[in-house]
Structure 1
Amino acid sequence: MKIALMINCFPVLSETFILDQITDLLDRGYEVDIYAEGVFNTVKIHSKVVKYNIYEHIFYLGEPKNRLWRIVKAFKLLIYHLIRRNNWQNFLLILSTLNVFKYGKISASFTLFYATAHLLDKRPVYDIIHCHFAPNGIKTLILRELGLIEGRVITTFHGYDVNKNFMREYVQMYKHILCLGDLYTVNTTFTGNKAIELGCPPNKIFKLPVGIDISQYNFQKKVLHSNETIKILTVARLVEKKGIEYSIRAVAKVLKNYSNIEYKIIGEGYLRKSLEKLTTQLKITNKVKFLGGQTQDEIRQIYADSHIFILSSVTASDGDKEGQALVLQEAQAMGLPVLSTLHNGIPDGVLDGKSGFLVPEKDVNALADKLSYLVEHPETWSSMGLAGRLFVEKNYDINMLNDKLIEIYKMISDPNLICK
Structure 2
Amino acid sequence: MRIAFIVGQFPVASKTFILNQIIGLVDRGHEVDIYADVPAYQSSVHGDIRNYDLYKNICYEYPLPSEFLARQAEKIKLLAHCFFRNPFAVLNTLNAARYGQQATSFKLLCRAEPAISRPSSYDIVHCHFGLNAIRGLLLKEVKALKGKLVTTFHGVDITKHLQVYGNDMYDQLWTKGDLFLPISDLFLKKIVNLGCQQDKTHVHHMGIDCSKFKYVSRHLSSDRPIVLATVNRLVEKKGVEYSIRAVAQLIHKNILVQYNIVGEGPLSDHLQQLVKNLNMERHIHFLGWKEQSDVIEILEKSDILIAPSVTSNNGDQEGIPVALMEAMAMGMPIVSTQHSGIPELVQHNRSGFLVPERDVDELANKLECLAINPNMWSEMGLTGRRIVEKDYNIHHLNDQLVDIYQSLL
1:80 aligns with 2:84: no
Change in Cα spacing, 1:81 to 1:28, as seen in structure 2 (3 Å) is: closer
Cα shift at 1:8:
1.3
- The 8 Å contact of residues 185 and 341 in structure 2, kept in 1 or not, is answered as yes
The corresponding residue for 1:386 is 382
The corresponding residue for 1:315 is 311
- The 8 Å contact of residues 63 and 111 in structure 1, kept in 2 or not, is answered as no
Cα shift at 1:202:
2.1
The corresponding residue for 1:417 is none
1:232 aligns with 2:259: no
1:306 aligns with 2:302: yes
Change in Cα spacing, 1:223 to 1:412, as seen in structure 2 (3 Å) is: same
Query: One-letter code of the match for 2:339?
Result: H
Change in Cα spacing, 1:219 to 1:72, as seen in structure 2 (3 Å) is: farther
Cα shift at 1:16:
0.9
Cα shift at 1:177:
3.8
- The 8 Å contact of residues 206 and 322 in structure 2, kept in 1 or not, is answered as yes
Moved more, 104-113 or 380-389: 104-113
Change in Cα spacing, 1:163 to 1:224, as seen in structure 2 (3 Å) is: same
Cα shift at 1:33:
1.2
Q: Deviations over 1:124-170 (max 9, x none)?
A: 11111111111111111111111111111101001111111466616
Cα shift at 1:110:
6.2
Cα shift at 1:62:
5.6
Cα distance in 1, alignment partners of residues 178 and 82 from structure 2: 36
Cα shift at 1:119:
2.6
From 99, 112, 119, the equivalent of 2:115 is 119
The corresponding residue for 2:213 is 217
Cα distance in 2, alignment partners of residues 213 and 231 from structure 1: 24
Cα shift at 1:21:
0.9
- The 8 Å contact of residues 36 and 58 in structure 2, kept in 1 or not, is answered as yes
Query: One-letter code of the match for 1:54?
Result: L
Query: One-letter code of the match for 2:257?
Result: I
The corresponding residue for 1:350 is 346
Change in Cα spacing, 1:249 to 1:158, as seen in structure 2 (3 Å) is: same
Q: Deviations over 1:39-61 (max 9, x none)?
A: 11211112211211121221112
- The 8 Å contact of residues 78 and 94 in structure 1, kept in 2 or not, is answered as no
Cα distance in 1, alignment partners of residues 337 and 29 from structure 2: 40
- The 8 Å contact of residues 153 and 183 in structure 2, kept in 1 or not, is answered as yes
Query: One-letter code of the match for 2:52?
Result: Y
- The 8 Å contact of residues 10 and 39 in structure 2, kept in 1 or not, is answered as yes
Query: One-letter code of the match for 1:369?
Result: N
- The 8 Å contact of residues 231 and 262 in structure 1, kept in 2 or not, is answered as yes
Change in Cα spacing, 1:142 to 1:371, as seen in structure 2 (3 Å) is: same
The corresponding residue for 1:47 is 47
Moved more, 103-112 or 349-358: 103-112
Change in Cα spacing, 1:213 to 1:347, as seen in structure 2 (3 Å) is: same
Moved more, 299-308 or 192-201: 192-201
Moved more, 107-116 or 389-398: 107-116
Query: One-letter code of the match for 1:270?
Result: P
Cα distance in 1, alignment partners of residues 285 and 91 from structure 2: 52
Partner of 1:15: helix, strand, or coil?
helix
1:224-263 equivalences in 2 (<5 Å): 224-263=220-259
From 97, 103, 109, the equivalent of 2:93 is 97
The number of equivalent residue pairs is: 409
Change in Cα spacing, 1:90 to 1:365, as seen in structure 2 (3 Å) is: same
1:130-169 equivalences in 2 (<5 Å): 130-165=126-161, 169=165
Change in Cα spacing, 1:90 to 1:3, as seen in structure 2 (3 Å) is: closer
Query: One-letter code of the match for 2:30?
Result: Y
Query: One-letter code of the match for 2:33?
Result: D
Partner of 1:172: helix, strand, or coil?
coil
The corresponding residue for 1:328 is 324
1:27 aligns with 2:23: no
The corresponding residue for 1:418 is none
Cα shift at 1:96:
4.9
Change in Cα spacing, 1:367 to 1:75, as seen in structure 2 (3 Å) is: same
Query: One-letter code of the match for 1:282?
Result: L
Partner of 2:206: helix, strand, or coil?
coil
- The 8 Å contact of residues 152 and 182 in structure 1, kept in 2 or not, is answered as yes
Partner of 2:168: helix, strand, or coil?
helix
1:161-200 equivalences in 2 (<5 Å): 161-165=157-161, 169=165, 172-200=168-196
Cα shift at 1:123:
4.9
Query: One-letter code of the match for 2:224?
Result: E
Change in Cα spacing, 1:121 to 1:27, as seen in structure 2 (3 Å) is: closer
- The 8 Å contact of residues 123 and 148 in structure 1, kept in 2 or not, is answered as no
Cα distance in 2, alignment partners of residues 407 and 163 from structure 1: 29
User: TM-score, normalising length from structure 1?
Assistant: 0.90
1:409 aligns with 2:397: no
User: TM-score, normalising length from structure 2?
Assistant: 0.93
- The 8 Å contact of residues 162 and 198 in structure 1, kept in 2 or not, is answered as no
Partner of 2:370: helix, strand, or coil?
helix
Partner of 1:207: helix, strand, or coil?
coil
Cα distance in 2, alignment partners of residues 279 and 175 from structure 1: 45
Q: Deviations over 1:340-383 (max 9, x none)?
A: 00011110011110110000001000000000011111111111
Cα shift at 1:173:
3.1
Cα distance in 2, alignment partners of residues 193 and 62 from structure 1: 37
RMSD, aligned α-carbons: 2.5
Cα distance in 2, alignment partners of residues 167 and 155 from structure 1: 20
Change in Cα spacing, 1:359 to 1:18, as seen in structure 2 (3 Å) is: same
Partner of 1:25: helix, strand, or coil?
helix
- The 8 Å contact of residues 115 and 144 in structure 2, kept in 1 or not, is answered as yes
